[in-house]
């Protein structure tokens, strides 16, 4: 008897922009896991020495080049546009999240791309997506949640 099990990993972004006047804009879009992200998974599971650091940062940028599996960085990461992310997972579920809050005065501008990384600068990019512009003003806040679902 042959057992056939497949593992899939799907990523999605939810971005909530809260304007200074209190209005809220929410965006949702699927992302892609890039090749380096799949290498990261393999190394995290099987590499005995020098395992990669945790995915613990979210970066935003202004690049509009379509997401592609071969990319290893955002196209135009914003200065100050990478923050430490909060990891969450409930045991027994197949979902985990990374969340970062870009407060007033941080990552101000026309945001069009997001990615998860395992370092405060450089590092390995796990996923990337582009989307219609989110115009974040100096007094606005942007909460970005990257949700990963395994099946």
- The alpha carbon of residue 113 and the mean position of all alpha carbons in its chain are separated, in whole angstroms, by 9
**Stretch 24-52: mean pLDDT:** 93
Number of H helices, E strands in the chain: 1, 9
pLDDT at 81 over 80: yes
| Residue 29: predicted pLDDT | 97
Task: State the chain's mean pLDDT as an integer.
Answer: 95
Q: DSSP character for 53? A: P
Nearest to 144 by CA among 95, 91, 81, 78: 81
d(CA 73, CA 117): 9
Residue 30: pLDDT band (50, 70, 90) is very high
C-alpha–C-alpha distance, residues 145 and 98, integer Å: 6
What does the pLDDT look like over 110-137, one tens digit per residue?
999 999 999 999 999 999 999 999 999 9
Residue 51's pLDDT is 85
- pLDDT one-digit tens code per residue, 93-115: 999 999 999 999 999 999 999 99
The pTM (predicted TM-score) of the whole model is 0.94
């Amino acid at each position: 008897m042959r057992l056939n099990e497949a593992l899939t990993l799907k990523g999605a972004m939810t971005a909530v922009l809260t304007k200074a006047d209190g209005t809220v804009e929410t965006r949702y879009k699927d992302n892609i896991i890039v090749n380096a992200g799949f290498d990261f998974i393999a190394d995290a599971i099987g590499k005995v020495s020098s395992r990669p650091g945790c995915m613990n940062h979210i970066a935003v940028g202004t690049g509009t080049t379509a997401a592609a599996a071969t990319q290893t960085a955002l196209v135009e990461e914003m200065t100050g546009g990478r923050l430490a992310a909060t990891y969450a997972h409930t045991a027994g579920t197949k979902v985990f999240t990374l969340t970062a809050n870009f407060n007033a005065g941080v990552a101000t501008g026309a945001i069009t791309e997001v990615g998860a990384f395992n370092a405060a600068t450089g590092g390995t990019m796990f996923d990337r997506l582009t989307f219609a512009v989110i115009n974040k003003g100096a007094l606005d806040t942007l909460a970005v949640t990257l949700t990963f679902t395994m099946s």
